Amino acid sequence: MERPKLEFKEEHAAGSGLYIRVDEVLYTGRSDYQDIFIFRNEFWGTVFVLDGLVMMTERDEYFYHEALVHPPMVFAERTDRVLLIGGGDGGSVREILKYSPREVEVAEIDAKVVEVARRFLPTGKYLDAPNVKVDITDGARKVKVSRGYDVIVVDSTDPVGPAKVLFTREFLGDVREALSDGGVVGMQVGSPMFYGEQVRETYAVLGELFEDVRFYVSFTPTYPSGMWGFLLASKGELKFRREVKGDNRLLHTEDDIRALLSLGRGYLRVI
Catalytic residue IDs: 155
DSSP assignments along 77-139, one per residue: S--SEEEEEE-TTSHHHHHHHTT--SEEEEEES-HHHHHHHHHH-TTGGGGGSTTEEEEES-H
The span from the CA of 186 to the CA of 151, in Å, is 8
Neighbours of 264 (CB within 10 A): 19
The span from the CA of 12 to the CA of 18, in Å, is 7
Among residues 173, 175, 231, the alpha carbon closest in space to that of 203 is found at 231
CA angle at 168 for the pair 78 and 183, rounded to the nearest 5°: 10
| Sign of the CA dihedral with 65 first, then 68, 69, and 71 last | positive
